[in-house]
C-alpha cells in the first residue's frame, strides 16, 4: 500500500535528489570552499544517500525492471566506499557521482537513445569499423611520412594515432602537425574522411530516431484505433493502413472542431471526452462516436458547428485517406453513409 503510494513520485523525487547530490559533489571539488559550506554540502550527500537507502530498504520502486533495481542498489552501495578512499587521503564524496546513472536511467530520452543504438547497432558498427580502418591507415601513412622528422609525435604507429584521431575528428589540438607537403596533403584527406564518417553516423542516427518515433507512434495509435467500434471487424492489414492515416488530437473544452458552412477535409473519431453538435436541441457525442463525415460524404460544407464539451481526445482522418478507406471497405462505407443520411434527416442544427 505504502509502496504504491510512493511509487508515483519515487522517480521525480529520486531524480531531484540525484541533481542535488551531484551539484554538491561538483561544489565539493572547489578548493577555496569555506569549511562551513563544505560541511553543509557533505550533509546534503548524507541525506540523499539516506533517502536512497530508505527507498531501497522499503522496496519503493523508483523504476521498473532488473537494471533499474541494480542501479538503485549501486546508488546506495558505492558511496560508502568513499570512506575507505578517505583513509588514503582522497575526497570521499566523489563516489556519489554514481548517482548520475540514476538520472540517466530515468531520462525518457536516454531510453530512446539506447533503443535506437540497439536497432542501428549493425550500421553503427559498420561506420565504427570504417573509422578504425581510416584511423589505422592515416596513422601508418603519417608514421611513414613524418616519423623520421618528428619522432616525438609520429615516431611509431601508436604515437601517430593521436594525431590521426584529432585530425579525423577535426578537433585539431595543434600539438602534432605534419611539416612535409605530403604529410599536409594526408592531413587534408583525413579531415575530409572524418567529416564523411561523422555525416554517415549522423545520418544513421537521424533515420534511427525517426523510425523509432514512428514505430512508437504507430503502436500508440494502434491501441487507440482498436478501441473504435467502427473499426472492430476490420482485417489487420486495413487496420494498419488506418493507423498510419489517423492523427491523434487533444482539445480543451470550448475548442471549435469544425464550423457550420465551412468546407470540411477531415472526419473525427472520439476516443475520450465529449463533443457538442450545436443545434436548437444540442446533440452530444462521446467515446466511440464519430463526426465530420457528412462534409466528406457529400462534398458540401459542414452541416453543423462541433465544439469540445470536455477535454477531448480525437483521431482525425484526412479526406484523401477517408476516400481510400471507403473504396476499400464497402461495409464501412455503407455504415458511414447511413449515419450521414440519418443525421441529415434529424432536426436541422443551428450555428
Ligand atoms: P459535417 O457536416 O462534416 O460536420 C459537422 C458534423 O456534425 C457532421 O458532419 C456530423 O458528423 C455531425 N452532426 C450533424 N448533425 C448531427 C446530428 N443531428 N447528430 C449527430 N451528429 C450530427
User: Tens of pLDDT along 95-152?
Assistant: 999 999 988 887 888 889 999 999 999 999 999 999 999 999 999 999 999 999 999 9
Give me the residue label for grid cell 475548442.
255
- Ligand 1 near 141 CB (within 6 A): no
Can you tell me the mean pLDDT for 4-33?
84
Q: Who wins on pLDDT, 16 or 351?
A: 16
Q: Quick one: pLDDT band at residue 351, thresholds 50, 70, 90?
A: very low
Mutate to test the pocket of ligand 1, among 262, 305, 349 (most ligand atoms within 8 A of CB): 349
- Ligand 1 near 258 CB (within 6 A): yes
- Ligand 1 near 79 CB (within 6 A): no
Q: Who wins on pLDDT, 345 or 134?
A: 134
CATH (residue range 121-211): 1.10.287.70
- Ligand 1 near 302 CB (within 6 A): yes
- Mean of all residue pLDDT scores within the chain: 90
Q: Which atom of ligand 1 is nearest to the CA of 305?
A: 5
Give the Cα separation of 272 and 98 in Å (integer).
Answer: 43
Cα(274) to centroid(ligand 1), Å: 14
| 2-106 and 229-345 in the same fold | no
SS3 180: coil
Q: What is the pLDDT of residue 249?
A: 93
- Cα angle 171, 110, 61; round to 5: 145
Can you tell me the mean pLDDT for 339-347?
88
Q: What is the pLDDT of residue 217?
A: 84
CATH (residue range 2-106): 1.20.120.540
Give the Cα separation of 69 and 59 in Å (integer).
Answer: 10
Q: Which atom of ligand 1 is nearest to the CA of 291?
A: 11
- Render pLDDT for 255-279 as a digit per residue (tens, 0 to 9): 999 999 999 999 999 999 999 999 7
Q: Which letter, b or e, does each residue of 75-112 get, where b requires 16 or more Cβ atoms within 10 Å of its Cβ?
A: bbebbeebeeeeeeeeebbebbebbebbbebbeeeeee
User: To the nearest whole percent, how much of the chain has pLDDT over 70?
Assistant: 94
Check whether 350 has a pLDDT greater than 70. Answer: no
Residue 61's alpha-carbon distances to 4, 5, 18, 52, 75, in angstroms, are 9, 11, 16, 11, 14
Check whether 75 has a pLDDT greater than 80. Answer: yes
Check whether 7 has a pLDDT greater than 60. Answer: no
Most confident range (mean pLDDT) of 14-18, 59-63, 65-69 is 14-18
Closest Cα to atom 16 of ligand 1: 343
Check whether 348 has a pLDDT greater than 80. Answer: no
Q: What is the DSSP letter of 301?
A: P
Q: What is the pLDDT of residue 11?
A: 72
- Render pLDDT for 166-220 as a digit per residue (tens, 0 to 9): 999 999 999 999 999 999 999 999 999 999 999 999 999 999 999 999 888 888 8
Cα(343) to centroid(ligand 1), Å: 6
C-alpha cell at 303: 452541416
- Ligand 1 near 104 CB (within 6 A): no
Q: What is the pLDDT of residue 6?
A: 53
- Ligand 1 near 314 CB (within 6 A): no
Q: What is the pTM of this model?
A: 0.66
- Ligand 1 near 268 CB (within 6 A): no
C-alpha cell at 288: 466511440
Can you tell me the mean pLDDT for 321-340?
91
Give the Cα separation of 55 and 75 in Å (integer).
Answer: 11
CATH (residue range 229-345): 2.60.120.10
Q: What is the pLDDT of residue 9?
A: 66
Around Cβ 51, how many Cβ atoms within 10 Å? 16
Distance of alpha carbon 87 from the chain centroid: 43
Cα(294) to centroid(ligand 1), Å: 6
Greatest CA separation for the chain: 96
What does the domain layout of the chain look like in residue ranges? Answer: 2-106, 121-211, 229-345
Amino acid at each position: 500500500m505504502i509502496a504504491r503510494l510512493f511509487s508515483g513520485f519515487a522517480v521525480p523525487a529520486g531524480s531531484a535528489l540525484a541533481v542535488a547530490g551531484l551539484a554538491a559533489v561538483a561544489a565539493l571539488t572547489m578548493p577555496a570552499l569555506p569549511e562551513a559550506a563544505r560541511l553543509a554540502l557533505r550533509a546534503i550527500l548524507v541525506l540523499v544517500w539516506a533517502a536512497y537507502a530508505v527507498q531501497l530498504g522499503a522496496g519503493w520502486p523508483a523504476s521498473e525492471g532488473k537494471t533499474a533495481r541494480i542501479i538503485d542498489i549501486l546508488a546506495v552501495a558505492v558511496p560508502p566506499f568513499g570512506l575507505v578512499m578517505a583513509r588514503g587521503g582522497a575526497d570521499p564524496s566523489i563516489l556519489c557521482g554514481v548517482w548520475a546513472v540514476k538520472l540517466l536511467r530515468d531520462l525518457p530520452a536516454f531510453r530512446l537513445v539506447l533503443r535506437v543504438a540497439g536497432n542501428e547497432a549493425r550500421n553503427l558498427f559498420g561506420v565504427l569499423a570504417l573509422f578504425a580502418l581510416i584511423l589505422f591507415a592515416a596513422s601508418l601513412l603519417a608514421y611513414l611520412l613524418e616519423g623520421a622528422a618528428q619522432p616525438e609525435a609520429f615516431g611509431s604507429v601508436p604515437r601517430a594515432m593521436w594525431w590521426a584521431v584529432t585530425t579525423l575528428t577535426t578537433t585539431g589540438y595543434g600539438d602534432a602537425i605534419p611539416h612535409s607537403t605530403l604529410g599536409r596533403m594526408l592531413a587534408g584527406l583525413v579531415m575530409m574522411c572524418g567529416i564523411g564518417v561523422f555525416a554517415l553516423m549522423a545520418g544513421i542516427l537521424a533515420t534511427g530516431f525517426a523510425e523509432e518515433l514512428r514505430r512508437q507512434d504507430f503502436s500508440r495509435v494502434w491501441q487507440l484505433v482498436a478501441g473504435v467500434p467502427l473499426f472492430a471487424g476490420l482485417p489487420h492489414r486495413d487496420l494498419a493502413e488506418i493507423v498510419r492515416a489517423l492523427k491523434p488530437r487533444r482539445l480543451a473544452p470550448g475548442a471549435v472542431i469544425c464550423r457550420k458552412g465551412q468546407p470540411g477535409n477531415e472526419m473525427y473519431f472520439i476516443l475520450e471526452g465529449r463533443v457538442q453538435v450545436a443545434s436548437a436541441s444540442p446533440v452530444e457525442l462521446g467515446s466511440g462516436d464519430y463526426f465530420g463525415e457528412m462534409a466528406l460524404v457529400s462534398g458540401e460544407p459542414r452541416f453543423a458547428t462541433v465544439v469540445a464539451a470536455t477535454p477531448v481526445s480525437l483521431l482525425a482522418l484526412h479526406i484523401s485517406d477517408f476516400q481510400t478507406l471507403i473504396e476499400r471497405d464497402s461495409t464501412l462505407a455503407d455504415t458511414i453513409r447511413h449515419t450521414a443520411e440519418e443525421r441529415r434527416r434529424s432536426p436541422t442544427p443551428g450555428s
